[in-house]
Amino acid sequence: MWGGRFAAGPASVMREINASIPFDKRLWKQDIAGSKAHVAMLARQGIVAQADADAISAGLDQIAAEYEANGVPVNLDLEDIHMVTESRLAELIGAAAGRLHTARSRNDQVATDFRLWVRDAMDEVDAGLAALQAMLLTRAEEHADAVMPGFTHLQSAQPVTLGHHLMAYYEMVRRDRSRFADARERLNECPLGAAALAGTGFPIDRHATAAALGFAKPTDNSLDSVSDRDFALDYLMAATQCSLHLSRLAEEFIIWASQPFGFVKLPDAYSTGSSIMPQKRNPDAAELVRGHAGRIMGCMNALCVTMKGLPLAYSKDMQDDKPPVFEAHDLLGLSIAAMTGMIETVTFRTDRMRGLAESGFATATDLADWLVREGNVPFREAHHITGRAVAAAEAAGVQLADLPIETLKGIDARIDERIYAVLTVDASVASRKSHGGTAPDQVRVRIAQAQKNAEGQTK
Ligand code: ARG
């Protein structure tokens, strides 16, 4: 491609370090779409003869069919997807192929291809997250009344419902989708026509190529256009946060599947056995989702570090932008699918959850709140009184609701029989009707609202 200036070919290690074709072949569809939009515009603007543009466009279609059927040939001499395609085009249509690269550079070409690819990646992730949300809604609705211990510090705190707990992840995924949607909007400007870095002297129509490729508008600064990788970083940052949420959910499944908890039975389809311990059923899929989050964060970090010291405009370091995005996207897609499948098929052991919710003095706050409400006791004092009731129950080896009324009255004379009505876990959750609270009625309101907004996605 630059034979005019060079007498000798590259050293073999140069050829190897320089080549991006082993990974950027994944951009082939976007590369062909970009070239077709570019050449159609060149013909309309009278920069390339219509007959040449038609030959180029037909040749590109044929190359697309070949790639579809046989994959992209990897030949390190041709360096990258842009050169592989252009050299094949020359084989197919001859000298006219050399007109395609008029008024563009691989710098704006790769920036355009990569934006198109990341835009598709964002749409794929969004579809996966929508399916995950739908599954969370289904299981949350099914278990809107199922009482489980709610934790802080991983200590039983107050009873909540399983539906409420699952809906917490619905909210996290909602924010993830909104982050990808924001990023997509910022990404959607077309760098094609920025050429190498300074724009071009040819009378191109950047608005036309932007529109043909589904971009909202062309980018406004040619230097920025070829050197900006914010869209890839935005993707990786959104992916990082999303993977972090999936990892937290995976972590819960791992804890819940452990024998001491026993809150879930993970399906065979998402578990593995042990080659030595026949009783084992290991939560490997969840552990790998947790593990993948680390790798996705690593990808985000890799591109941040690649970009942080680069002067304007293009530098070859930027060729390294693609592997971390491809890797993160593959890992995220697998993680979303695995979590969706696990949520769909997991057996929630709600009897066990209820049993544990009833056994951890989880309604102590309800006793204190009752003293505030019915006895006009200041909350701090009520907290102290309740602490003594918990100590008495613990000493007697019973639950709060099992303490005889005389014992409770002995602790504080303002307590009477009505207290037993608030000490059950069902009464406790039903009472938490504040907006966003765990009361089954509240949870159902949120589920219904979310189902109504299903297409509106990020509400
Ligand atoms: N393969 C290159 C990349 O991904 C294409 C751009 C090459 N531009 C250049 N000036 N060498 O970054």
Ligand 1 centroid vs 319 CA: distance in angstroms? 6
Residue 396 has a pLDDT of 94
pTM of the model: 0.94
Residue 278 has pLDDT above 80, yes or no: no
Residues 150, 159 contacting (CB under 8 angstroms)? yes
Separation between Cα atoms, residue 158 and residue 105, nearest integer Å:
62
Q: Whose CA is nearest to atom 10 of ligand 1?
A: 107
Whether the bond between 257 and the residue before it is cis, its omega within 30 degrees of 0, is: no
Name the residue at shortest CA distance from atom 3 of ligand 1: 319
pLDDT of residue 309: 97
Q: What pLDDT band is residue 184 in, cutting at 50, 70 and 90?
A: very high
Which tokens in the block code for residue 431? 């009472």
In sequence order, the β-bridge partners of residue 150 are 158
pLDDT grade for 380, boundaries at 50, 70 and 90: very high
Ligand 1: atom nearest CA of 196 is 10
Residue 457 pLDDT exceeds 70? no
The answer to whether residue 274 scores a pLDDT higher than 90 is no
Which pLDDT score, from 0 to 100, does residue 101 have? 98
Considering only CA atoms, which residue is closest to atom 2 of ligand 1?
319
Residues annotated catalytic, as ranges: 153, 274
Average pLDDT rounded to a whole number, residues 378-388: 96
List the one residue out of 381, 369, 434 whose CA is nearest residue 412. Answer: 381
Which mutation among 20, 316, 322, 326 tests ligand 1's pocket best, with the greatest number of atoms within 8 A of CB? 316
What's residue 88's pLDDT? 98
Spacing, Cα 316 to ligand 1 middle (Å)? 6
Ranking 20-29, 126-135, 262-271 by mean pLDDT, the lowest is 262-271
Section 368-381 average pLDDT:
95
3-state secondary structure of 457: coil
Task: Please tell me the predicted confidence (pLDDT) of residue 7.
Answer: 79
In a mutational test of the pocket of ligand 1, which residue from 77, 110, 318 has the highest number of ligand atoms less than 8 Å from its CB?
Answer: 110
pLDDT of 455 above 80: no
Write down the pLDDT at residue 281. Answer: 81
pLDDT of residue 458: 55
At 35 the pLDDT is 98
Question: What percentage of the chain has pLDDT greater than the value 70?
Answer: 98
Give the distance (Å) from ligand 1 centre to CA of residue 429: 59
Residue nearest to atom 11 of ligand 1 (CA): 316
Measured in Å, residue 82 CA sits from the centre of ligand 1 at 9
Where b means 16+ CB within 10 Å and e means fewer, 278-311 reads eeeeebbbbbebbebbebbbebbebbeebbeeee
Residue nearest to atom 12 of ligand 1 (CA): 319
Tracing tokens 């919710």 back to the chain, one arrives at 357
* pLDDT reported for residue 270: 86
Q: Which atom of ligand 1 is nearest to the CA of 110?
A: 5
Atom 7 (ligand 1): residue with closest C-alpha?
A: 106
The yes-or-no verdict on residue 456 having pLDDT over 90 is no
- Provide the pairing of β-strand 189-190 with 217-218: parallel
Identify whether the C-beta of residue 85 lies closer than 8 Å to the C-beta of residue 28: yes
The closest residue, in CA terms, to atom 4 on ligand 1 is: 319
Q: Answer for the pair 364, 274: CB distance below 8 angstroms, yes or no.
A: no
Q: 326 alpha carbon to ligand 1 midpoint, in Å?
A: 17
Task: Measure 229 CA to ligand 1 centroid, in angstroms.
Answer: 13
pLDDT tens-digit readout, 336-346: 999 999 999 99
How many residues are recorded in the chain? 459
Distance 177 CA to ligand 1 centre (A): 31
pLDDT at 148 over 90: yes
- Asked if 225 and 309 count as a contact pair (C-beta separation under 8 A), the reply is no
* β-bridge partners, 265: 347
Cα(179)–Cα(330) distance, rounded to whole angstroms? 19
d(CA 35, CA 41): 10
Q: Which of 14, 30, 80, 106 to mutate to test the pocket of ligand 1 (most atoms within 8 A of CB)?
A: 106
The pocket around ligand 1, CB under 6 angstroms, is made up of 20, 24, 80, 106-107, 110, 314, 316, 318-319
